Structure 1
Amino acid sequence: MPASPPPSRTATDLLRASPLAALEARILLAHALGWRRTELITRGDEPLDEAQVAVYRSLEARRAAGEPIAQIVGAREFYGLEFEVTPHVLIPRPETELLVETALAAIAPLTRPRVLDLGTGSGAIAIAIASARPDARVWALDRSPEALAVATRNAVRLVGERRPGGAIELLQSDWYAALDPALSFDVIVSNPPYIASGDPHLGVGDLRFEPRGALTDEADGLSAIRAIVVGAGAFMAPGGQLWLEHGYDQAAAVRALIAAQGFADVRSLGDLAGIERASGGIAPGAVDGEMATA
């Protein structure tokens, strides 16, 4: 007797049998099939061929081994935009949206503001700001050519190489090193490597798959922040603002570093969980506590 054909499987069958969390399984199955997630319901009982099942099983196995969902599907949403993600860049995280919101508030009263994003990675912060403020001039710097390639593709796809009234300038640079010294910025923002070299979190979860150089300074977790804070004065417009993301237990240390450079109104901001996630201040030269207009 000829062998019986393998039993057909459906999307519903695969989801029910998956060892993954339900949301993760749905994301991966929709990606494997090229379906919208709503189609997992409306087409859930359609038989799938073996090739489709095999693609999903492969993705499922990668996630079960710990690989981040964002790297498997190659994308992550941030500030309402979908960014390409590769192993060369950090995965954009919701808590970093605080930096975007803070920068946008800082430049709200300004015309054609200038913004600098140091260590841009995927370009998430810079591109989110540029998308919300088409008149802004935004510079996005990273020392990694691989990261800059990702940021460039994201910038072209999400905001275009040129925008009415402004542009995103992408530049390979170790912090400020490659910047024109004549430039000055109304806001400087950064999500630098701030995890200490011996922190056990580097060996667990998604962090195992992300670029180590974007996570840790291989020192005390503050050396990159020190370099940014010390170098900021040469590139700040009078009354400009500096804002940095940092670790949950670093707020006091970062405030002290910023205050030591003569910044005023130095403070920390909490994320949605109430954790002090970003710290910053106003550069010397502010008028009545506000940034000078561009």
Structure 2
Amino acid sequence: MNVGEVLNKGVEVEMAINLVQASNFNWRLNLNATSYNNEILDLADGVKESGIKRSTSIFEIGGSLYDAFLRDYAGVDKSTGKALYYLVDGDGDYVLDDNNQKQTTDTYTDTYQVNLGSTLAKVYGGFGTSIESFGFDLSVAFGYQLGGKVFDGTYQSLMHGGDEAGVNWHKDILNAWSYDNPNSDIPRLNSLDDNRQMHSSRFLESSDYLSVNNLTLGYTIPSQVSEYLKLASARVYFSADNLALWSARKGLDPRQSFGGTDWQAVGSHNYSALRTLSGGITVNF
């Protein structure tokens, strides 16, 4: 059904500059950045007030198509090691105590999901540099993203309570709550706890990243040599693609999802882009 109206707007910036331009040395920099905003302007009458609620996302007027809709994780009860969640009523409002502080519960089903806002990055894009000198050329291309969130479903699946036979644990499980480690933000390791691994903001992670998308190194044979070999030109090169990725958690690839509300998009143990190393000779006759 056509159930609403959406407004997309943003700005894109691209810049390139020659830092040095000489007879035997050229150095160039480039940068591009995109800032994108998505807003739901209207919904059909039947869902105008309540919004469209999904397992981990919600569509509401004034919100976006990428708003996270989860139970809000409040950490670990230091005395019991159980996972805590902020109490939210059926209207999506936090329940406050007499001191105007958010109340918590260790029973997952006692609280409701709440709109945690847009997961879209504030800015994303790429930048790079290239250098040419005495026949050698070197170029490096980077990608980046800042200011967003992503639901790390793979990490969620690796932080189970020990009741999933044959499923690995993430090494963070070694820091789970215990009487000797009461200040941990990871709930106790107990297979009887059915609320420690459920969908919540506990697994909503920063989607910031920096990646090395490509590195290329080449050498163009001097014209005197290529002419002697009866060639117009010849270049030897080495190239590496998807060389490195730094993100909030090792193994997390935020590039797998645009907007971080779909727990399956970054939650099915998907492979990141494969690293590729290649080299060759380019010859022109």
TM-score after normalising by structure 1: 0.22
Q: Considering Cα pairs closer than 8 Å and 6+ residues apart, tell me whether 1 or 2 has the greater RCO.
A: 2
Higher strand share: 2
Rg larger in 1 or in 2?
2
**TM-score for both structures, normalised by structure 2:** 0.23
Hey, which of these two has a bigger chunk of helix by percent? 1
